[in-house]
Amino acid sequence: MGVVCRFGFFGLYACLLTGIWYAALGTTDVVSVGPTAVMSLLTAEFTGGDQQRAVLLAFFTGAVVTAAGCLRLGFLVDFFSVPVVSGFVSAASITICTTQIKGLFGLKMLGQRRPQRDQRSLKPSRRSRLLSGSLWMLSIARNGVVVLVTSVLVLVLESHQLHPFSTTETVAAGFPSPQLPPFYGLASNTTSPEVAGSAGNASVVADPTRWPGVAGMASELGLGLVVVPLVATIECMAIAKAFAAHNRPQDHSQEMIALGVCNLLGALFSSYTVTGSFSRTALNHASGAATPIAGVITCIFVMITLGSLTPYFRYIPTATLSAVIICAVFFMVDWKIVLDLWRCRKLDLIPLFVTLLAGLFWRLEYGILLGTGVSLLLLLHRAARPKVTLSYRLTGLAAAAKSLQRDGGRPLMLLEIKPSVLTIWSGTDPAAFLVSQSETAAAQLIDQWGEGRARYR
C-alpha cells in the first residue's frame, strides 16, 4: 500500500483543474479540494495500486456524488456522527503512518484574547515583524523546505556517481491528454511516464477487446464504489462546516455536486479521487484566504510545476516523502475527542472505538460502516426509550400561560443547528430567534445583546 510513489504523478494531475471547478460550483470560501492522505489510502486499497482502476474509481465516485447531490440527498450526511468520522480519520492516519515506515527506513518489505495600556510600547518593531513573518513563512513551508534540501543532496551525490537513497519515479514534463477513463477494460499497468515517454501519452491505455460491462467494472472496484464516495463526501462536508464563515449556510447537496463534478472532470485528466483537504484548507484560512480564488491560484502553480519542474522530481528521496506524510497525518489523530465524550456523553465512545478498532485491525471501509451502524442503533435506542425529567409541576391554566409568555420573551440563539431541527424551532415563534453556524458569529451576536464576551472551551 505505497501511498508515496504509487500515485505520484496522478496526484499532480488531480490538482490540475479541480480548484477552478470547485471555485465555480462550491458554496464555501476557503475549502481546498485535491488529493488527500485518506483518499490516497482508500484508493490504493481498492485498486491494488493499479493506476487505471484509480482513474476509473475517480470517475464513478464523481458520478455517484453528483447524482446524490442532484437528488438533494445532502441531508444524509447528518447521519454520520462526529465520533464515527473521528474514529475513521484516526484509524486512517495511524494506518498511513505505519505503511510509511518501510519507506522511511528504506525497507523492501510490503506495507499494508486584556485592557489596552500603552499600544506604542507594545507595538512590535519593524525588525520584529520581519523576523516573525519570515519564521511564519518557514513554518508553513517546512515540508517544501525539507523536500528541496534533500533533493539537492541527492542531486549532488548523483553528480558524483553515488546513489545511496531510493528516489521516486521519473515524471515527464507537460500535461496529460484529456481522454475518457478505461471503460473498455483494464489493460496491464503500463502507465509509467518512463515507459510512455511523454506527458501526452502518460495516460491510461485501455483494451477495446476487453469490455466487461457495468457489472464487470463494478466488481473490479467492489465496495470502493460505496465507501470512497461516502468518505469523500463526509470529509468535504466536515471541512465546509468547520470553516463556515459569517453565519453563511452550507448547502450540502450543492457541495456534493461541486465535489462530484471535480472528480468527473478530473478523471478525464488521469486524476484519482479528490476531496476537501483539512491541512490545505487550514493553511488557506490562516493565510487570510477569503474567496475561492485561492484554489484557482493553486491550480496555476500546479500547471507551472507540471510544465517545468516534473523531471526533477526523481531526485526526491522516498524516505523524505515518507517522513513528510507521517508528520502530516500524525496530527490528524483526534486524541482530544475521547476526553470530550467521556465528560459529556460516554455512550458515544462506543461507535468511536468500534470505528477505530475495526479500521485498524480489519479494513477501513468496514470500520466506517460498522461505526455508522452502531451510531444509528444508539440513536434508535434513545428515540425508543426517551428520558423525561419533570422539573416542576404547573397547576392551572393561568400559571401555564404565564410561564410560556415569560419563557417566550427570552432571546434564543441556536448554534450549528441542523435544518430539520431548525424547522421545529421556527414553530415556537420566540421574541428573538437567531441561528449561527459558527462560534465566531455567535460571539458577535452575544456581544450585540450586551451579555458579555462569549468564551468557548
First to last CA, the chain: 39
DSSP symbols for 76-92: GGGGS-HHHHHHHHHHH
b/e string for 241-250 if b means 16 or more Cβ within 10 A? bebbeeeeeb
For 283-415, strand residue ranges (E) read 411-415
367-403 confidence digits (pLDDT tens): 888 988 998 898 888 878 776 555 555 555 444 444 4
Which grid cell is 151? 533533493
Q: Which amino acid is at 420?
A: S
Are β-strands 432-436 and 411-415 bridged in parallel, bridged antiparallel, or unpaired? parallel
For 164-299, strand residue ranges (E) read 275-276
Q: Is the pTM of this model over 0.75?
A: no
Residues lower than pLDDT 70 in the chain: 1-11, 108-129, 131-143, 169-175, 183-215, 242-249, 286-287, 387-439, 442, 445-457
For 226-378, strand residue ranges (E) read 275-276
b/e string for 197-213 if b means 16 or more Cβ within 10 A? eebeebbbebeeeeeee
Classify 3 as helix, strand or coil.
coil
Q: Could you give the CA distance from residue 38 to residue 53 in angstroms, rounded to a whole number?
A: 17
Which grid cell is 374? 452502531
Q: Could you give the CA distance from residue 451 to residue 437 in angstroms, rounded to a whole number?
A: 19
Q: Could you give the CA distance from residue 282 to residue 288 in angstroms, rounded to a whole number?
A: 10
Q: Tell me, what's the pLDDT at 383?
A: 79
For 29-74, strand residue ranges (E) read 33-34
Q: Which residues have a Cβ under 8 Å from the Cβ of 438 and sit 6 or more positions away?
A: 244, 245, 246, 247, 416
Which grid cell is 398? 393561568
Q: Could you give the CA distance from residue 347 to residue 370 in angstroms, rounded to a whole number?
A: 16
**Cα Rg for the chain, rounded, in angstroms?**
25
93-140 confidence digits (pLDDT tens): 888 788 778 777 777 654 443 334 344 444 566 666 676 666 666 666
Which grid cell is 23? 471555485
Which grid cell is 196? 510512455
Q: Is 177 left (phi over 0), alpha (psi -120 to 50) or beta?
A: beta
Task: Write a three-state SS string for 351-373.
Answer: HHHHHHHHHHHCCHHHHHHHHHH
Judge whether 295 and 15 are in contact, CB under 8 Å.
Answer: no
Q: Tell me, what's the pLDDT at 102?
A: 77
| DSSP annotation of 412 | E
Q: Which residues have a Cβ under 8 Å from the Cβ of 441 and sit 6 or more positions away?
A: 246, 247
Q: Could you give the CA distance from residue 240 to residue 236 in angstroms, rounded to a whole number?
A: 6
C-alpha triplet 285, 272, 193: angle, nearest 5°: 115
Which grid cell is 252? 450540502
Q: Could you give the CA distance from residue 419 to residue 437 in angstroms, rounded to a whole number?
A: 11
